[in-house]
Chain A
Amino acid sequence: MSERGRGLWGDASRRLRRNRAAVASLAVLGLLVIASLVAPALSRFALDEVDWSLATLASPPSFANGHWFGTDSNGRDLFVRVWAGTQVSLLVALLATAVSLVIGVAWGATAGYLGGRVDDWMMRFVDVLYALPYMFFVIILTVAFGRSLFLIFLAIGAVGWLTMARIVRGQALALRRQPFVDAAITLGLPARRIIARHIVPNVAGTVIVYATLTVPQVILFESFLSFLGLGVQEPLTSLGRLVAEGAAEMESAPWQLLAPSAVLATILLCLNFLGDGLRDALDPRQRP
């Protein structure tokens, strides 16, 4: 509905635009996304192409031979690999966070609002999932569905929503005792409307900050999965993998660590600023 759009999100975007750090972060993130999409296509090297013309396979950054970020230990162009990795990492991070956000918020808000026995059962279910080793869970998923990038979103999201559900449930538990919830009940609004309109928007601040903290976790978790051979497979790569490979060659070829780390750090910093700005923007009590 147009009314609602203008109400919450319209105002929020207006307030967000006044936050310089958030706007700058958004711009930098936008540039990174564009770079990650465009750079691999424009480069004269392919992702898995070994440059045999080099004196050594791992050569430092140089404009002369066209390897702007240098090459990795196998002689592949790092510039292309970093941007391709950025593409994968951002995709995994954002989609997995989105999955955990949707499930976690819906689950937690429902449990917290309804309370009582429903809450007990829903949260015990979360406890049980928490107790299961997530690697076990991911391996089962891999066996059942085969390897795909989509599976990684699902697997990470399926693990990540548990904490989100607990956080949201705690907030919803406090919110359902607020008079405005009673007022909504006496207006005859059904529970799902009250959850959607009076509970969830009130936890948005907490949720968004937690989500921006989830993104770096997901990126690192993905690199861990890849390391075990369950994540992204060669020749495709991700920032997490590149950092891990770079760390191994830190002394002999520091550029292999610096290039992906710099991009990763920039992404995380921008997401934190953006999350902070979003939290403020979604609270109408903040300056208009």
Chain B
Amino acid sequence: MSAAPLLTVRDLRVEFDTPEGAARAVSGVSLDVMPGECLAVVGESGSGKSQLFLACLGLTAGNGRVSGSARLLGQELVGLTERQLNACRGTQVAMVFQDPMNALTPHLRIGRQLTEGLTDRGLLDVSAARRRALEALIAVGLPDPESRLDQYPHELSGGQRQRVAIAMALVCGPSLLVADEPTTALDVTVQAQVLRVLRQSRERGLSIVMITHDLGVVAGLADRVAVMYAGRVVEMAPAQELFDAPAHPYTAALLASVPRIAGAQSDRLAAIDGQPPRPQDRLPGCRFAPRCLQARDVCRAVEPETMTTDARAVACHAPLRQGWPS
């Protein structure tokens, strides 16, 4: 890994005003996305993984407050006006969402949806934009791309729509793609197709942030993994190292709860007891402590600092892996 990071997030916080007080969805996350890498952000529902990147794109809901810093290609994204954000949305950073069935406007033909980002900006005229759209459809491996341009979204299957959504995100040539659970709503064979498309895009130099809770997806695609819990990144490591030797007890518990076909057969799938804290709650100490089997007194009293070695980072008082000062 060399060069400057593409996206630099520093101490990003997202809070929502609720009747029960401020809910902290993201509390102080820092991470980098390098050019050409695929960073997976893993966490359970409500861990703030989606809100983190929605905040980077200025998509936080009206009752949310974003603070901290997110720099894309050196430009600060937090606090930009809608107009300034629109200049980099699509062209520098694009997003693919979870639900492919509703990701496309039902009354617009595929070709029109793919080209509107180009023609509206005046980047290309209609016929050139159409050629670019066709290339994008070929790139995502959609069969019979020529006639797809004139079809409506309802004529396509879910997997095909998700590939169109990816093509739509990539058509303006962004350098970073944020994929928010792009395979969650798809069945397994179609998931594989979508992941192949993403892998091929990365091979062409695209940086990908993959937001998911499916560790199987992570294993196949990610270079590095950031594990989020209750609004914080608890562990960050190269994918293989994370799977081989998780340092945070939460990561270890997460890995233990993945069903395996090979290996020791146990009757029940391992589960993590308890619930994550609600975002309104203010707990002292580590947020995972109430559910952590290794928790000590210090864990319940003092919030752990993030410890960093050259490639890894972990926020825990008692990391599992050797080599961490503890």
Contacts and interface: CB of A to CB of B under 8 A. Distances in A.
> Are A and B co-members of a single complex?
yes
Interface of A: 1-4, 7-8, 115-116, 178-180, 182-191, 193, 197-198, 201-202, 204, 282-285
B89 interface: yes
Given A202-B105, A284-B106, A179 B59 contact: no
15 contacts: A3-B115, A179-B102, A180-B102, A183-B104, A183-B165, A183-B168, A184-B105, A184-B116, A187-B117, A188-B85, A189-B117, A190-B82, A202-B105, A283-B107, A285-B152
B85 to A, nearest CB: 8
Contacts of A7: 108-109, 112
A251 to B, nearest CB: 53
Given A180-B102, A183-B165, A285-B154, A188 B112 contact: no
Given A7-B112, A191-B82, A285-B152, A186 B57 contact: yes
Interface in B211-252: none
B82 A187 contact: no
Which of B95, B105, B108 has the most A CB atoms < 10 Å from its CB?
A: B105
A183 B95 contact: yes
Contacts of B108: 7-8, 197-198, 201
B89 A188 contact: yes
Nearest to B62: A116
Contact of B126 (A3, A115, A182): A3
A183 B120 contact: no
Contact of B94 (A186, A189, A283, A285): A186
Interface in B97-142: 97-99, 102-109, 111-112, 115-117, 120-121, 126
Contacts of B105: 180, 184, 197-198, 201-202
Contact of B89 (A1, A187, A285): A187
B110 to A, nearest CB: 11
B91 interface: yes
Nearest to B152: A284
Given A179-B102, A182-B97, A188-B117, A8 B82 contact: no
B88 interface: yes
B90 interface: yes
Nearest to A282: B107
Interface residues of B, number: 40
Contacts of B165: 183
Contacts of B172: 187-188
Nearest to A182: B97
A184 B103 CA distance: 9
Given A188-B121, A193-B120, 17 more contacts: A1-B126, A2-B126, A3-B126, A179-B97, A180-B104, A180-B105, A183-B104, A186-B89, A187-B116, A188-B89, A188-B91, A188-B117, A189-B116, A190-B82, A190-B120, A197-B105, A204-B107
A171 B278 CA distance: 32
Contacts of B98: 179
Interface in B51-97: 57, 59, 62, 82-83, 85-91, 93-95, 97
Contacts of A180: 102-106
Interface string B252-266: 000000000000000
B210 to A, nearest CB: 16
B67 to A, nearest CB: 20
A185 B57 CA distance: 9
A183 B117 CA distance: 11
A188 B168 contact: no
Contact of B59 (A3, A116, A185, A190): A185
A262 B154 CA distance: 43
Given A3-B126, A179-B99, A188 B106 contact: no
A161 B8 CA distance: 49
Given A180-B104, A198-B105, A189 B86 contact: yes
Contacts of A2: 126
A197 B121 CA distance: 15
A187 B88 CA distance: 9
Given A202-B106, A285-B152, A187 B168 contact: yes
Which of A1, A7, A201 has the most B CB atoms < 10 Å from its CB?
A: A7
A190 B91 CA distance: 14
A7 B86 CA distance: 25
Contact of B102 (A4, A178, A197, A201): A178
Contacts of A183: 95, 97, 103-104, 165, 168-169
Contacts of B121: 188
B61 to A, nearest CB: 10
Contacts of B120: 189-190, 193
Contacts of A282: 107
Contacts of B106: 180, 202, 284-285
Contact of A188 (B87, B99, B102): B87
Interface in B138-174: 152, 154, 165, 168-169, 172
Contacts of A179: 97-99, 102-103
A190 B116 contact: no
A197 B107 CA distance: 9
Nearest to B115: A3
Contacts of A185: 59, 89
B97 A188 contact: no
B66 to A, nearest CB: 16
Nearest to A180: B105
A284 B169 contact: no
A172 to B, nearest CB: 14
